[in-house]
Amino acid sequence: MAGAGRSRLAMCSARVAANCRTRGSAWLVLKSALVFSTFLGGLGLDIGWAIAVDSNGCVYVAGETASTNFVATNTSSTNYGGGFRDVFVAKLGAAGTNLVFSTYLGGSDEDAAFGIALDNSGNIFLAGLTASTNFPVTPYAISTNIHGAPAFGYYAYDAFVAELNTNGTKLLYSTYLGGSQADVANAIAVDGNGLIYVAGATASPDFPTNGTSAFFGGGNDAFVVKLDSASAKLVYSALLGGAGNDYALGLGVDSTANAVVAGLTASPNFLLFPITNALQTNFGGGPYDGFVAKLDPDGVTLFSTYLGGSGDDEISRLALDAAGNIYLTGLTTSTNFPTPVDALYPTNTGGADAFVLELDPTGTNLVYSTYLGGTSNDQGWDIAVDANGSAYVIGLSASTNFPTTNAFQSALAGPDDVFVAKLNPGGTALDYATFLGGGGSERGYAIAVDNTGNAYITGTTTPFDFPVWPATNGVQSVYGGGTGDAFVAKLFPRNAELRASRGAGTGSNDVTILWPYGLPAFGLESTDDLAGTNTIWMTVTNAASVVGNDNAVTFTNSTGSLYLRLRRTQ
């Protein structure tokens, strides 16, 4: 990004507002602007694992909190349940400055949510894990009792599935899901008929299954479950795995109720991982390969494929577009990860790189694939896709030379920062790629996108000068304490440019200058003379108001001309 000495000039005569013109437009184009950014947390560790946005621009975040003083408001569950962590769910208004509700969900042991989805009515669906024997469940649950035994950690985990109403005031449905060992749900989706799809991992040979894929391979197997909460019925429950450890992390459902699941597997061919109609039939090597599978509405596997090279390859999340194309992200240490020679970034630049990849709906054709990273470690955590087929990726980067472009924050600020990147349809160029972080460590775990290309992100951050915007009067402008707070932020694609609007009424000398709200690294400057060789620009001290998505400052000038520009200050 251009530095402070190379600003984009936008010059406007205060007497002739219609004559506003832009000079030097090639110098600086900013395509990722921060609309809002806020902490969410208390005195314990707080992590945002999942995010969704509705058609009104309201933002829904779910994760885990160890804070007994986490902000719980406009909800019936204001008390921390106990144990090491509870689920939290929060809804922010479209402006990002008000908390519609925030609630705990959990029992007396460990509880966390890793997936979130919305239905057409705005009801909120959650998936995760619980070790609580008193986790709140509802009538018509698949299971009203916890079954798990310790395997993933110190607690006996079951997966859980829950549904809240859109205002967070009522638990509409909640159930345990699991067998006699540990089980965790990592992702959730809802189809147009309100049927719920859940993906995760199980160490339980007796995990509840029905359908065509009921064989438990050993270790940990991936699972995909389709359930009808209205009838408390499993439509299908399928296992995917071999004798090694297999984990489902990403899930999507297409317009015809096919479920697509992705994750990582340590089960090579001879350990019987179920491969069918595959793009890559052989395990690439290393500790893990990625895998992708697609199941029809009855749970029958349509395809299942490895994705990976000779190193460690892990798929974190997936997204589907309207045509059913599959977008994937994760990490790879492989120098021979499947990327074509004409890819945007065809080679691994060092350590672990993030990757972005698109498959066609059959799973047999690679639309594009690219590495994304620098010389240190980089990882893609989540991916979203807009109506045009542009992919939005969030993750973490420790690379000072991560390929930022059109960035809100072009330089790594701490040991590792969040990165957010947008790839054009076809994956041939980065529309923008930016860091987001302060002097500590940040993790970006989830991303959602609305129908105008705004990106919504969440994760966790330490207290060292993480960019909060607005700096005051937001949901939570001050770090809550502990080892980490969750954060929620919105980025939008806007150019750094000034626009002018004349005041109402005949002969009005008022001119309102507007520029995109969410550009805290830019200041407005003015001068009354551009003719000289030593033009002096002065900082405009008029307080800016917010009008829609813009900052606005109104000037009154009856004679002469006034010229204005935006200047980058960081």
Q: How far apart are the first and last CA of the chain?
A: 10
What is the share, in percent, of the chain residues with pLDDT greater than 90?
68
Instruction: Report whether 387 contacts 394 (CB < 8 A).
Output: no
Strand, helix or coil for residue 11:
strand
Give pLDDT tens digits for 358-386: 999 999 999 999 999 999 999 999 999 99
pLDDT, greater one: 219 or 175? 175
CA 570/CA 568 separation, integer angstroms = 6
What's the gap between Cα 301 and its chain centre?
Answer: 28
Q: For position 559, what pLDDT does the model report?
A: 62
Q: For position 14, what pLDDT does the model report?
A: 32
Q: For position 503, what pLDDT does the model report?
A: 61
For range 470-476, the mean pLDDT = 84
Q: For position 19, what pLDDT does the model report?
A: 33
Q: For position 408, what pLDDT does the model report?
A: 87
For range 109-118, the mean pLDDT = 97
Strand, helix or coil for residue 378:
strand
Confidence check: pLDDT of 437 > 80 = yes
For tokens 């159930």, what's the residue? Answer: 175
Confidence check: pLDDT of 114 > 80 = yes
CA 247/CA 417 separation, integer angstroms = 26
Q: Who contacts 209 (Cβ-Cβ below 8 Å, separation ≥6)?
A: 223, 237, 238, 239
Q: For position 528, what pLDDT does the model report?
A: 79
Cis amide bond preceding 205, omega within 30: no
Give pLDDT tens digits for 384-414: 999 999 999 999 999 999 999 988 899 999 9
Q: For position 439, what pLDDT does the model report?
A: 92
Reported pTM: 0.85
For range 304-317, the mean pLDDT = 98
Model confidence at 419, in pLDDT bands (50, 70, 90)? very high
Confidence check: pLDDT of 214 > 90 = no
Confidence check: pLDDT of 80 > 80 = no
Confidence check: pLDDT of 322 > 80 = yes
- Burial per residue of 289-301, b for 16 or more beta-carbon CB atoms within 10 angstroms, e otherwise: bbbbbbbeeebeb
Strand, helix or coil for residue 82:
coil
Q: Where are the domains of the chain?
A: 9-30+497-568
For range 298-308, the mean pLDDT = 96
Confidence check: pLDDT of 210 > 60 = yes
Give pLDDT tens digits for 149-197: 665 555 579 999 999 999 999 999 999 999 999 999 999 999 999 999 9
